[in-house]
Amino acid sequence: MLIALPLLIIPVVIYAIVILTGVVGTGGVAAAEQALRDPIFTVPMVSGSGWNIGSGDLILFLALLLLFFELLKSTSSQKVAIVNHALSMILFVACLVAFLLIKGFATSTFFLILTMIMLDVLAGFIVTIISARKDLEFGAG
């Protein structure tokens, strides 16, 4: 039944840990948001400049990878896919509420994660509707 859990909950939890540890610490929300932007490491480029990668960038990269796997999961027509769609919708609503109401969650990083969750929800329902329509048309003939 773990396959029914939306994978995009992982970057949300990681983001919450980064933000809440900064908020609980002495720095508050500003320090937590700065922790998302501060570079963890720098990749030297051929041009001579450096590409700074922060924790917010890594969380977004992880979310993009997991969105790909969520889209692959949405093509399944098993009963567990319906549970996954419902849980993804609950995750989207919870993240939207956090984005609107909780300090530290109103950042561009979290907005992009929220957008990825919305795309997962939309893709899941659209794929399910299209596959159900094809099954209905095939059965009628």
Distance, in Å, from the CA atom of 46 to the CA atom of 48, rounded to the nearest integer, reads 5
Residue 129's contacts (CB-CB under 8 Å, 6 or more residues apart) are none
130 confidence band (pLDDT: 50, 70, 90) = confident
Mean pLDDT of the chain: 86
pLDDT at 1 over 70: no
Confidence class for position 119, pLDDT limits 50, 70, 90: very high
The per-residue pLDDT for 69 is 92
pLDDT at residue 139 greater than cutoff 80: no
pLDDT score, position 31? 78
Tokens linked to 65:
């990878």
At 141, the pLDDT band (50, 70, 90 cuts) reads low
- 38 — pLDDT class (breaks 50, 70, 90): confident
Listed residue (42, 62, 66) closest to 52, CA to CA: 42
- In 3-state terms, what secondary structure has residue 73? helix
| pTM, full prediction | 0.85
Residue 41 and residue 90: Cα distance in Å, rounded? 35
pLDDT band at 103; cut points 50, 70, 90: confident
Fill in the amino acid letter for 97: V
